[in-house]
Structure 1
């Protein structure tokens, strides 16, 4: 099949598009439901969750066999669309007949020309993929998803519905943008952002005559985000610069014969080189005109600079608290409080973690509850031992490390119990485990924490990371169940006789 193929790499930035309710009654019912559910959302999740991270598309692939897509307009429009996770976007067109199976035709073309779109086992669309397909002759459209991007059938129908108006006007390029924008808003959506929980404020913008304004608005948001990250990086860099002399003096007096002192100094060994590089980036990035901050190369450099500067800011805090605590200089009790703060935060969230778990047995909840009281007593003992001199700082840190390792083990056991109680298949177990592990390793280091500094990310479980990971996993599982349970739809979900056992997420319908 001859196609005109273009592989386009684009940077995509934040646009949140939400769908207005189709009827006034729908608005009222959904709003009432949102209020009720939001009231039940755990405080730690609502208050502790950070805003969704906006990611750029990894790649945009145009396979325009029908010759109906205007590539420059497609590329320009995609700069306004943002994804929660890096996503490969495919826009695929082919002319056919209304009676044909668009799903089957797309799969056949993918198997022959784009095997990279299909998972290694040949049964699903590959992870990180979104495909929008159009047959302008047969008046068919379809949406298809990698296994880690899939949404329920009703949501797929909503995505296609958002493109119908443009399709009926034969505005094929705009239809592709409409469908992609709609899909980006719901793929990997946290459960608490589901329309059953809240109804979004911004109504999808009608693109057409105001398309140029939408592009400008998208770039403005990109510039604003880049400027905010640059400001954060500059603030962190200023903190490091202000404390630079004190940090160097602290590093010179950290006792090298201390196990923890030696490990912190090893992390500090490249501090000067990283600071010099951050200073160079500070000079260069601060000189970029504000109107150019939306450019991809500048945004990437700014994000990297911000992360580097904040890591340096955290490390110099740790060097200071290490020196003060290990030498028991004046102020060492406050330095010890900094070390115990992560543990105390975790202990304070245990009751919330084990409350409202009707599917779990008492003996699966008791270990965490018991540990909380035991750990609180142990923290008091460690602090008192430091105060009286019965414990050295290294011994106290060993005791604290042991507590955090024990909590990590208990949370591992608790995760297994929750997964066994909730999951109904190996696939669901893998989804829950994957989200838990991702949040565990995503957890940030606390400024000044010696243990967080000397261990790799993910070494310790935190209660917050556990809660967010399990909630995210549940959301993915619920979405998959909705798709599996949807038994009636006007859309086509099968891949025809030639599809074999292929069961990738996706569906098509006429317009």
Structure 2
């Protein structure tokens, strides 16, 4: 090939490469200005100035919350308030928070009574109504779209019912945007530096995602370690109890069958405890570690519940000293459910009176039957197995009544087959995930979801109802579905904040 042909074919390429180099160099120079600002003029980050927990719903693990928040950096010292309360999906969370603040926490409100006090960030959860909200002092407020982004960052943890982690997720997200210096705002990175910006945003998102995953993994690991410590402390006593559980008892035999693999599972958990303790905290976000930690936590918590059950089974079936307390452990789930019935039936329409009647009449009948079973055990007229059979029949009857009531309630609320399916799925999901009561023989020998608790019923319906309402709002309007007002009782209050369903 002639030399001049080679030159003519390479010249355009060389010019393109040089132009690209100049362009990228220009990007670097443009990026250097805000980068220098970020490096040299960024204010010192600060941990929360104060942490307040008002856990009306009783769902937050305070030590984990405080430990996690201590690692959150704010652009300016900020008081973090985590507030929980149980309510209905159709209620106004903003209004309820404001009402509680006016009555019990006036320091959260500005002197003129119209805004949230300066220096505050409030994160609110209603685990029963499936609502969350974020609220800001006037000197910390952000736009509505940013508020929605903060809430979105907590949704995954909320849907897993990991309420403490949700509070950490939302606070971490809020801390990055409240009082953010102008040169850290994403809007700065426009035009010619878009490539640099996208790289920075991607890197920040990856880092934030890793930190979130690391925090959740650490919280799960801490829970697993606490359960493992409990099991280890009681290990000798658990083995002694298992050795004297009567095998000729129907329930004793079933509990022992569950216990059969206890020792092998404990040894596996012990190995995992040793291995995971050697994983550096900065590597907990890795998928293989997160999966192993989740499995470890689930195993140790199951073992912790099982050793309690073995102890109560041994005491009750043999009627050893302390057996009345062991019987109380067995009846506690039923008594808790009976106490929830009034909340289930209150506020229902007159049209559903016929469906409510069986639940209303069941409550006093069940309470009388519980007294009869306890008295029979005391006098010896009933064996522990027979008493447990009677208790199982009561819980099965409540499950049947809740099943019937759910059909009526779903049909009353749902307008379409899709809405009906959403409600059914949410209710079944909560039924299956309802936690086993420590020490409960019936919860141990039956599969999850065998009995339907009133608490799981209410949470499941509220969750499904919230999803349906949110879908209806989206269909009726192109808006995001966030609620910004403070209801009829809010008056002229206009503090920054909003709430949404999850």
TM-score by length of 2: 0.59
Where 2:415 maps in the other structure, the secondary structure is coil
Of 256-265 and 213-222, more deviation after overlay is shown by: 213-222
| Aligned-residue offset at 1:486 | 3.7
Of 295-304 and 440-449, more deviation after overlay is shown by: 295-304
- TM-align CA RMSD: 3.7
Question: Does the 8 Å CA contact 2:341/2:359 hold for their aligned counterparts?
Answer: yes
| Aligned-residue offset at 1:188 | 11
Question: Does the 8 Å CA contact 2:128/2:463 hold for their aligned counterparts?
Answer: no
Number of residue pairs matched? 329
> What residue is the counterpart of 1:288 in the other structure?
279
Question: Does the 8 Å CA contact 1:360/1:417 hold for their aligned counterparts?
Answer: no
Question: Does the 8 Å CA contact 1:359/1:421 hold for their aligned counterparts?
Answer: no
1:265 aligns with 2:256: yes
> What residue is the counterpart of 1:243 in the other structure?
234
2:294 to 272, 297, 303: 303
> What residue is the counterpart of 2:394 in the other structure?
403
Superposed counterparts of 1:433-444, under 5 Å: 433-444=424-435
Q: 1:357 to 1:46 in 2, by over 3 A?
A: farther
State the distance in 2 between where 1:383 and 1:422 align: 40
Where 2:378 maps in the other structure, the secondary structure is helix
1:435-485 Cα distance to aligned partner (Å, 9 max, x none) = 111110011111110000000000000111101110111112112222333
Superposed counterparts of 1:114-263, under 5 Å: 203=174, 205=177, 206-207=185-186, 211=201, 212=203, 215-263=206-254
Superposed counterparts of 1:105-116, under 5 Å: none
Question: Does the 8 Å CA contact 2:225/2:297 hold for their aligned counterparts?
Answer: yes
State the distance in 2 between where 1:301 and 1:401 align: 35
State the distance in 2 between where 1:283 and 1:320 align: 27
> What residue is the counterpart of 1:373 in the other structure?
364
> What residue is the counterpart of 2:344 in the other structure?
353
State the distance in 1 between where 2:254 and 2:364 align: 31
State the distance in 1 between where 2:316 and 2:371 align: 17
State the distance in 2 between where 1:304 and 1:213 align: 29
Question: Does the 8 Å CA contact 1:408/1:462 hold for their aligned counterparts?
Answer: yes
State the distance in 1 between where 2:149 and 2:99 align: 32
- Structure number with larger C-alpha Rg: 2
Where 1:361 maps in the other structure, the secondary structure is helix
State the distance in 2 between where 1:296 and 1:414 align: 42
> What residue is the counterpart of 1:454 in the other structure?
445
**Unaligned residue ranges in structure 2 (runs of 5+):** 1-71, 73-90, 101-123, 132-142, 164-169, 178-184, 190-196, 481-502
Question: Does the 8 Å CA contact 1:233/1:309 hold for their aligned counterparts?
Answer: yes
State the distance in 2 between where 1:249 and 1:376 align: 34
| Aligned-residue offset at 1:359 | 5.4
> What residue is the counterpart of 1:77 in the other structure?
none
1:172-212 Cα distance to aligned partner (Å, 9 max, x none) = xxxxxx9998866679988xx9xxxxxx8765845566745
State the distance in 2 between where 1:376 and 1:308 align: 35
| Aligned-residue offset at 1:252 | 1.0
**Unaligned residue ranges in structure 1 (runs of 5+):** 1-15, 17-31, 53-157, 163-177, 194-199, 490-511
| Aligned-residue offset at 1:228 | 2.1
Where 1:254 maps in the other structure, the secondary structure is coil
State the distance in 2 between where 1:488 and 1:248 align: 59
Where 2:430 maps in the other structure, the secondary structure is helix
> What residue is the counterpart of 1:71 in the other structure?
none
| Aligned-residue offset at 1:376 | 0.7
1:347-383 Cα distance to aligned partner (Å, 9 max, x none) = 0010010000125432211211111111111111111
State the distance in 1 between where 2:478 and 2:204 align: 42
Superposed counterparts of 1:26-37, under 5 Å: 34-37=93-96
1:67-110 Cα distance to aligned partner (Å, 9 max, x none) = xxxxxxxxxxxxxxxxxxxxxxxxxxxxxxxxxxxxxxxxxxxx
| Aligned-residue offset at 1:428 | 1.4
